[in-house]
Amino acid sequence: MTGASDSIALLPHPRTPCPAVEALEVQVDVAPGGTLGLRYRLHGDLARLRIPSPRPVARVDGLWAHTCFECFVAAPGTGAYREFNFSPSGEWAAYAFRAYRERDDEAVPAPAAVACIVTHATGGRLELDVHLHAATLPAGNIDDLQLGLTAIIEDTDGKCSYWALRHPGPAPDFHLRDSFALTIGYVAKIPRLRQRTP
């Protein structure tokens, strides 16, 4: 990917369309201290989607089974990577992997890793802002880190669609390394996100 853009589009997997979603995009920001900011923006008919209601901020497994926004981060030249899940409910999860789907529980990011999740739903737009501390990202030059930006969107019938920068496999699989299609250095010149407050 070349050039700069205010937002980066996610695409549904061909096997899992979602007519209720008109567009899904992500804005990426890197703060001077290395904090990674992500703003997910969904446009569509929110009444036809299952959007989790607000809940106490907590680390929760299984968020991917419902509407959930995700980020995968890896350093080049290694099979290891991190996975972060962000629910519109305010709940979140973080995982570390040594290689493809091989969990590394000793490297799981600490609860303080996720600085903030702020959700806004107005009219036909749902926004979710999140900031990840630099300490929770893989070691290395932050400009070289590779991102897989993804989302699971559940409709009111309980059917999920799977969105990503790239879908390299015949079935949705966000863990495939070829789907980590964005290098952080690419977005270095994108305008900074303005932090929202609850």
Average pLDDT for the chain: 86
- What are the residues facing 146 on neighbouring strands? 74, 183
Q: Which of 151, 132, 118 is nearest to 25 (CA)?
A: 151
Each residue's pLDDT tens digit, 95-106 = 999 999 999 988
The rounded Cα 89 to chain-centroid distance in angstroms is 15
Between 123 and 52, the higher pLDDT residue? 52
Instruction: Give the C-alpha separation, 84 to 96, whole Å.
Output: 9
pTM check: above 0.85: yes
19, part of any domain: no
Domain that holds residue 157: 25-67+77-187
- Which tokens is 35 given? 């904090």
3-state secondary structure of 41: strand
Per the structure, how many domains does the chain have?
1
46, part of any domain: yes
- Which tokens is 55 given? 């809940």
Between 78 and 194, the higher pLDDT residue? 78
Those residues with Cβ within 8 angstroms of residue 61's Cβ, 6 or more apart along the chain or in another chain: 93
15, part of any domain: no
51, part of any domain: yes
85, part of any domain: yes
Instruction: Give the C-alpha separation, 82 to 136, whole Å.
Output: 9
10, part of any domain: no
Each residue's pLDDT tens digit, 19-74 = 999 999 999 988 877 888 999 999 999 999 999 999 988 889 999 999 999 999 99
Neighbours of 98 (CB within 10 A): 14
20, part of any domain: no
Q: Residue 156 maps to which CATH number?
A: 2.60.40
59, part of any domain: yes
